[in-house]
Amino acid sequence: MGFEYVTPAITRWKLDEFVKVIDEFEEELSDKVHHKMCVKNDYNTILLHIAGKSLITTREILTLCSFGYTDGALSLGRNLYEQMIIVGFFEIHKKDKNFQDYIADFFLSYDVQRNKCLRDIEKYVPDSKIEELNEEWQNLKKKAKHAIRRDYWWTGYNNFSEVVDSVMADQTDEAIRIFLGIHYMRYKRACISLHAGCMGNTIRISGTVGFDEVDTSATLYGQSTPLMYAVTSLIPIVGNICDAFSMDGTEYVKELNSLASWYQEEEKRETKGSSQ
């Protein structure tokens, strides 16, 4: 697909190189899926949906970055990070005897979320379907392999932070643990950009806005953080999907790692510059 327009940020932040990698990855994956895969309730289908959502989200991030909207791009980066954690969780438990329980509950979470949403709406816009929804809710709880609690109930944990802790605890390489810790810090910074609040409404990644200022302009600066966040989340997603679908992901991972290294250096440079 690439970019059908030119902006200073596309050249400055190597966005054309980034989009080229994901375009080529999508083309190969699409060909592989079209010819050799039937969609069903299994792990490969989960990975396929993760691939689709991650590609869309990455393009949305690159589009925002190309026009200088860094905080919006960082906010979207949360989704890629969460997809990375989900893939990591599944990969850790892939050889567990109860692995299929996680798969079944992941698909069941679709109906769980739908039911919760409709019951919430019923509180404010009643249309006399609450008894039907409550009955369905009881049936869903009986069908689930894990207790239904918050959004990530299908993992057996209460919330996303606990899932992150479980993935982090499985890492034996200290360097990887430190790297993932820094990556989690970017996740928390993305939360600030996404949610309404004093801090999120005030600060900008570019670091050019004072506390007593309101700036709505786009910027060429600060792109390194959302781009670093996106590409480093995407690397394990792409790598595991390539393995699952018997694709040689060597070049994709190599090119994404090269971009990650470059964005990391730019992030260090921008951070140093903003603190002076």
Look at residues 144, 172, 200 and tell me which one is the last residue of a structural domain. Answer: 144
pLDDT tens column, 97-106: 999 999 999 9
| Mean pLDDT, residues 35-64 taken together | 89
Same structural domain, 76 and 196 = yes
* Position 149 in a domain: no
Same structural domain, 221 and 125 = no
Give me the percent of the chain exceeding a pLDDT of 70: 94
Same structural domain, 83 and 22 = yes
Same structural domain, 178 and 238 = yes
Separation CA 176–CA 168 (nearest Å): 9
pLDDT tens column, 221-265: 889 999 999 999 999 999 999 999 999 999 999 999 999 999 999
pLDDT at 241: 97
* Position 182 in a domain: yes
* Position 150 in a domain: no
pLDDT at 245: 93
C-alpha 68, offset from chain centre: 20
Same structural domain, 170 and 37 = yes
**Which of 90-112 are b and which e, b meaning 16 or more Cβ less than 10 Å from the residue's Cβ?**
bbebeeeeeeebbbbbbebbeeb
Same structural domain, 21 and 86 = yes
The model's pTM is 0.92
Look at residues 83, 116, 144 and tell me which one is the last residue of a structural domain. Answer: 144
pLDDT at 19: 97
Q: What angle do CA 111, 117, 122 make, to 5 degrees?
A: 125
pLDDT tens column, 104-122: 999 999 999 999 999 998 8
Look at residues 144, 171, 205 and tell me which one is the last residue of a structural domain. Answer: 144
The domain total for the chain is: 2
* Position 151 in a domain: no
Same structural domain, 63 and 18 = yes
* C-alpha closest to that of 70 among 241, 203, 239, 167: 203
Same structural domain, 90 and 108 = no
Answer whether 229's CB lies under 8 Å from 186's CB: yes
Separation CA 184–CA 187 (nearest Å): 5
| Mean pLDDT, residues 264-272 taken together | 85
* Position 2 in a domain: no
Same structural domain, 118 and 254 = no
Give the structural domain span for 116: 99-144
Same structural domain, 48 and 174 = yes
Same structural domain, 135 and 175 = no
* Position 3 in a domain: no
Q: Give Cβ neighbours of residue 64 (< 8 Å, ≥ 6 apart).
A: 70, 72, 73, 76, 226
Q: Is the pLDDT of residue 218 over 90?
A: no
Q: What angle do CA 119, 121, 127 make, to 5 degrees?
A: 85
Average pLDDT, the chain: 90
pLDDT at 209: 60
* Position 54 in a domain: yes
Same structural domain, 76 and 206 = yes
- For residue 35, name the pLDDT band (cuts at 50, 70, 90): low
pLDDT tens column, 154-180: 999 989 999 999 999 998 888 888 888
